[in-house]
């Protein structure tokens, strides 16, 4: 439901005057900074409270949206219980040379050692309100709504020359200076997760760009030791392939991308999960909703089924969280802008697509059971877990289990793995978040579970098994 602040024509005045604080926040920052859990698999707050990374991809947020639009977008994502917004300081779409919504650019002479700042930060004064003041304003609004910003210092095209896109402006020296400047400016904010990279590998065609990224990371770390850091790599790769042993890399990020239907992102998660030293991992860019499959409309478009299936597959394979994305939203597509890779709607039109709503149910399910004890466990599945769209995925704690069946087929489950003499079984609907009781069963042997509806793609369900004595509430509650 849209925030009342922008339901009326006077939205701009209300926002600038100070919109009433959101009725509830997505994340409680009083629980302390994020850190890696003791078992190395998840993220937790300083007080030990588990943190669920439910990300959204908004790469052009700082570059293309004005304050009123940013307010609309952030409030929409807060209401859907996202926890992290991934956005880029030096943006992808000509972010150095094309000014932001207020006519400002981020760097003097495109020099990373010269952030373009002016005295003052009054939004009503165009001379004092500069590019970085606008970034500050958005970060502040996100903080008030309980949203982390997964902050990319730059899109990767400013470091790595691929596809003729750039301009490349970074070297080791200025990357460290720029990183230190960012660390000093934003290190005191509670809602930052650093994401280096930006759709680029650190090594390409025999050229090693790692010293530049390492210098940027070290520059940030010299001024900001409190916030976690990861790396966004290009499609169908994980940061672990190049950077797993980098001391500044706190958790791995995968981009499985948009190249194919039924992308087996669980394989990428599994591979990272087995690495030593142990580090958390997640799919930080999977198939975007409303994106043409393999960039060609002739192949069809990824829909809500594709994006929610990718989320459950990745999480049940051991992901610390998951990032959703919508094709017109990441680029903030609107009238007068050139569509990137076939975007067919404006960002305003797609904020409430079904897949975005259904991420709420993903988070609700994962947080309704102890998160940091959860492990992937395919041994719960009797028989062939299937391939492609039919692949079944299982995860469990000591006294509960989730099994995702993407095509509504009969599921044979091995019991006796969880604690307790009796198990309560429930179907969780990933479309609506509703739970339907199945019954209570002896915790031994093998049992077949038949999901509601007819088998087929789109009729996906999560089977939830609970030790009766654990006393859990309904899944998602």
Contact 160, 169 (CB under 8 A): no
Domain boundary among 367, 390, 408: 367
With respect to residue 15, please indicate whether it lies within any of the assigned structural domains.
no
Give me the domain span that covers residue 390. 377-470
Per-residue pLDDT band at 14 (split at 50, 70, 90): very low
CA dihedral 179, 185, 188, 192 (to 10 degrees): -60
Looking at the fold, whether 124 and 173 belong to one and the same domain comes out as yes
Looking at the fold, whether 361 and 435 belong to one and the same domain comes out as no
pLDDT of 155 over the 50 cut: yes
Largest Cα–Cα distance of the chain, in whole Å? 72
Residues 6+ away with beta carbon under 8 Å from 84: 53, 54, 55, 56, 147, 148, 149, 150, 193, 321, 323
SS3 426: strand
pLDDT of residue 329: 98
With respect to residue 8, please indicate whether it lies within any of the assigned structural domains.
no
pLDDT of 2 over the 60 cut: no
Query: What's the CATH code of the domain at 309?
Result: 3.20.20.80
Beta strand residue intervals within 14-159, DSSP E: 34-36, 43-45, 50-51, 53-57, 84-90, 148-154
Query: Which residue in 337, 344, 340, 309 sits closest to 324, CA to CA?
Result: 309
pLDDT of 9 over the 70 cut: no
With respect to residue 301, please indicate whether it lies within any of the assigned structural domains.
yes
Tens-place pLDDT, residues 418-441: 999 999 999 999 999 999 999 999
pLDDT of 197 over the 70 cut: yes
Looking at the fold, whether 309 and 390 belong to one and the same domain comes out as no
With respect to residue 184, please indicate whether it lies within any of the assigned structural domains.
yes
Instruction: Find the radius of gyration of the CA atoms of the chain.
Output: 22
Domain boundary among 315, 337, 367: 367
With respect to residue 11, please indicate whether it lies within any of the assigned structural domains.
no
Looking at the fold, whether 434 and 313 belong to one and the same domain comes out as no
Tens-place pLDDT, residues 255-294: 999 999 999 999 999 999 999 999 999 999 999 999 999 9
pLDDT of 369 over the 60 cut: yes
With respect to residue 144, please indicate whether it lies within any of the assigned structural domains.
yes
Looking at the fold, whether 326 and 434 belong to one and the same domain comes out as no
SS3 158: helix
pLDDT of residue 303: 98
Query: Which residue in 172, 267, 187 sits closest to 229, CA to CA?
Result: 187
pLDDT of 184 over the 70 cut: yes
Looking at the fold, whether 412 and 352 belong to one and the same domain comes out as no
Looking at the fold, whether 175 and 238 belong to one and the same domain comes out as yes
Looking at the fold, whether 172 and 310 belong to one and the same domain comes out as yes
Tens-place pLDDT, residues 76-111: 999 999 999 999 999 999 999 999 999 999 999 999
Looking at the fold, whether 354 and 404 belong to one and the same domain comes out as no
The pTM of this model reads 0.94
Per-residue pLDDT band at 152 (split at 50, 70, 90): very high
pLDDT of residue 165: 81
Looking at the fold, whether 124 and 197 belong to one and the same domain comes out as yes
What does the block give as tokens for 399?
A: 């006294």
Looking at the fold, whether 429 and 301 belong to one and the same domain comes out as no
pLDDT of 189 over the 60 cut: yes
Tens-place pLDDT, residues 208-257: 999 999 999 999 999 999 999 999 999 999 999 999 999 999 999 999 99
pLDDT of 413 over the 90 cut: yes
Residues above pLDDT 90, as percent of the chain: 94
With respect to residue 464, please indicate whether it lies within any of the assigned structural domains.
yes
CA dihedral 425, 430, 433, 436 (to 10 degrees): -30
Per-residue pLDDT band at 23 (split at 50, 70, 90): low
Domain boundary among 306, 334, 367: 367
pLDDT of 35 over the 60 cut: yes
pLDDT of 24 over the 50 cut: yes
Looking at the fold, whether 456 and 310 belong to one and the same domain comes out as no
Tens-place pLDDT, residues 36-78: 999 999 999 999 999 999 999 999 999 999 999 999 999 999 9
Please state the domain count of the chain: 2
Query: What's the CATH code of the domain at 390?
Result: 2.60.40
pLDDT of residue 17: 32
Residues above pLDDT 70, as percent of the chain: 95
With respect to residue 71, please indicate whether it lies within any of the assigned structural domains.
yes
pLDDT of 122 over the 50 cut: yes
């Amino acid at each position: 439901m849209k925030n009342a602040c922008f339901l009326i024509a006077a939205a701009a005045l209300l926002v600038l005057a100070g919109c009433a604080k959101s009725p509830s926040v997505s994340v409680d920052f009083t629980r302390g900074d994020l850190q890696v859990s003791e078992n190395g698999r998840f993220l937790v707050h300083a007080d030990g409270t588990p943190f669920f990374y439910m990300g959204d991809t908004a790469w052009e947020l700082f570059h293309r949206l004005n304050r009123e639009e940013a307010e609309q977008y952030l409030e929409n994502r807060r209401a859907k219980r996202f926890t992290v917004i991934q956005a880029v300081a030096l943006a992808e779409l000509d972010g150095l040379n094309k000014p932001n919504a207020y006519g400002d650019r981020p760097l003097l002479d495109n020099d990373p050692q010269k952030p373009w700042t002016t005295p003052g930060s009054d939004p009503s004064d165009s001379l004092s309100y500069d590019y970085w003041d606008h970034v500050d304003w958005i970060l502040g609004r996100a903080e008030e709504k309980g949203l982390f910003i997964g902050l990319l210092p730059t899109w990767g095209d400013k470091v790595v020359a691929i596809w003729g896109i750039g301009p490349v402006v970074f070297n080791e020296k200025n990357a460290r200076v720029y990183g230190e400047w960012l660390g000093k400016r934003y290190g005191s904010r509670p809602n930052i997760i650093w994401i280096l990279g930006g759709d680029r590998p650190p090594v390409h065609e025999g050229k090693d760009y790692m010293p530049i990224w390492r210098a940027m990371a070290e520059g940030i770390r010299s001024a900001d030791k409190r916030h976690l850091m990861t790396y966004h790599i290009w499609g169908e790769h994980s940061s672990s392939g190049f950077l797993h042993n980098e001391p500044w890399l706190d958790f791995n990020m995968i981009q499985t991308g948009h190249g194919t239907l039924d992308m087996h992102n669980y394989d990428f998660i599994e591979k990272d999960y087995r690495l030593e030293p142990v580090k958390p991992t997640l799919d930080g860019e999977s198939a975007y909703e409303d994106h043409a499959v393999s960039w060609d409309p002739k192949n069809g478009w990824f829909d809500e089924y594709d994006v929610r299936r990718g989320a459950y597959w990745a999480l049940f394979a051991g992901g610390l969280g998951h990032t959703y994305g919508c094709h017109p939203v990441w680029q903030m597509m609107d009238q007068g802008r050139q569509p990137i890779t076939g975007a067919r709607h404006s960002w305003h039109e797609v904020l409430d697509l079904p897949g975005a709503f259904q991420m709420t149910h993903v988070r609700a399910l994962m947080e309704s059971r102890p998160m940091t004890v959860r492990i992937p466990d395919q041994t719960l599945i009797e028989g062939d877990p299937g391939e492609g769209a039919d692949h079944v995925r299982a995860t469990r704690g000591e006294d509960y289990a989730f099994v995702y069946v993407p095509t509504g087929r009969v599921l044979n489950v091995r019991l006796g793995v969880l604690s307790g003499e009796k198990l309560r079984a429930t179907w969780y609907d990933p479309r609506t978040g509703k739970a339907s009781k199945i019954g209570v069963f002896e915790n031994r042997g093998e049992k077949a579970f038949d999901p509601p509806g007819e088998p087929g793609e789109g009729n996906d369900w999560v089977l939830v098994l609970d030790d009766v004595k654990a006393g859990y509430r309904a899944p998602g509650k």
